[in-house]
Amino acid sequence: MTNALETTGYLGNVEEVLKAALADGTPAGQPEGDMMKQAARHLCVGGGAKRLRPLLVLYFARALGMPLDDERFVHAGVAAELIHSASLLHDDVVDAGMYRRGRPTVNALWGNVMAVMTGDMVLTLGLQRLLSMEPKVMHDALECVAEMTRGTIAELEARGDLDLPLERMRFIAEAKTGALFGFCGIAAARFAGNDEARPRFDEFGRRLGIAFQIADDVKDLLGGDEGKTPFADLASKTPSLPILVAAQKDPAVKKRIKDAWGFGAMTPERLRELGAAVRATGAIQESVRRIKAEVHAALEVFSPYAQRPGGVELVGYAHKLATAFDDVGGADEGNPVDAGRIAQPEQAL
C-alpha cells in the first residue's frame, strides 16, 4: 500500500498548485479584481471536493513504481481536477443546478454567463498545466475533453427519451465520466513510459467511471448524496440508467414519468412519488448489478497491478464502489432510504 503520509503530502501539493493557479494576483488588502478566479475558487478550493481524480493519477503512478516526488504527477492531477471542475461549471448551467457540494453553485451566485466563462477559463488552466510535459499527454487530454463534450451533448439530446437504449446510456456515462478516469491512468502510464499498462489503465478507469456514474444515478433516487438535491434526474427529464430500467420493466411507471415530464415543472412531492415508483420496479437492484459487472470487468483487466502499491488502493476503491449499496434495504418497495446507510465510495480512495 502507499504510505498515508506520502499521499497526504501529494494532496497537499495538489492543493497548493490549485490555489496558485486560481489566485487572481490582487495585492493584499485590496478588493479581489478577477471575478472569474473568485468564482473558480468558490467551486474548486475549500468546497468539499474529494480530489478523486488527482488520487487516481497518484495511485496509477504508484502501481507503476513511479516516485511520488515526480512533479509531473502533481500537475497531471491538478489538470484532471480542473478539467473535471470545468465540466461541473458547465453542467450546472445546463441543468440549472442551484447547489453543489452543499453550497450554492457559481451560476446561482454569479449567473450563467459568468459560470460558462469561468468553466472555459478553468478548462484552459487545466490544459496549460500539461504544455511542458510529454506532448502525447496533451493530445490525450484534448481527446478526453472532446469525448466528454460529446457525452454531454448526447445526454442533452436524450432528455425526455424513455426509449433510449441502455447501451446509449452506457456510452454517455463512459464519455462524461469514464473518459477522464481513463485519462488519469493514461497520463501515469505515459510518464512511466509503459505502453503495456496504458490500455489496461484506460479500460480500468473507464469501467470504473461508468460504475461511478451509475452509482451517482442510484444515489439520486435514494437521496444518499449529501450536498445534492435528490431526484435531480427526474426533475431535469434526464433518463438515467435506473429510470430507463424502470421504464422497461413497468409500462405503467413509464407512462407516469412521461406524463409528468410533459407537464414541465414538478413539485418535490411529485418527484418523491416518481422516485418511489422507480424504486418499486427493482430498477435499483438491476443498476447495482450493472455496477458490479463493470467493476468485475475493470478488475480483470487491472489484475497484473492489483497487488502493487497504488494498485491495492485502486482495487479497494473498486470494491467499495461495487458494494456501496449492499446494505440498502427497501429500495425495491419504494420505502424511504436512510442516506446514512449508503456507503460513500469516494471516501474509500
Strand partners, 99: 104
pLDDT tens-digit readout, 102-123: 889 999 999 999 999 999 999 9
pLDDT score, position 32: 57
7's grid cell: 499521499
Q: Please answer whether residues 321 and 293 qualify as being in contact, where contact means their C-beta atoms are separated by less than 8 angstroms.
A: no
Look up cell 454531454; give the residue: 152
Secondary element (H or E) of residue 103 = strand 103-104
pLDDT score, position 29: 53
| Percent of residues in the chain assigned helix, strand, coil, to nearest 5 | 70, 0, 30
Instruction: Provide the 10 A C-beta neighbour count for residue 85.
Output: 26
> Cα–Cα distance between 295 and 211 in angstroms, integer?
7
The domain segmentation of the chain, as residue ranges, is: 4-348
Of residues 186, 169, 14, the one with CA closest to residue 85: 14
Instruction: Provide the 10 A C-beta neighbour count for residue 233.
Output: 22
**Beta strands, E only, the chain:** 99-100, 103-104
pLDDT score, position 331: 40
CATH for 4-348, options being 1.10.357.10, 3.30.300.30, 1.10.600.10, 3.30.2320.50 = 1.10.600.10
In the chain, which residues have pLDDT < 70?
Answer: 25-33, 47, 224-227, 264, 329-349
156's grid cell: 442533452
pLDDT tens-digit readout, 223-237: 755 667 789 999 999
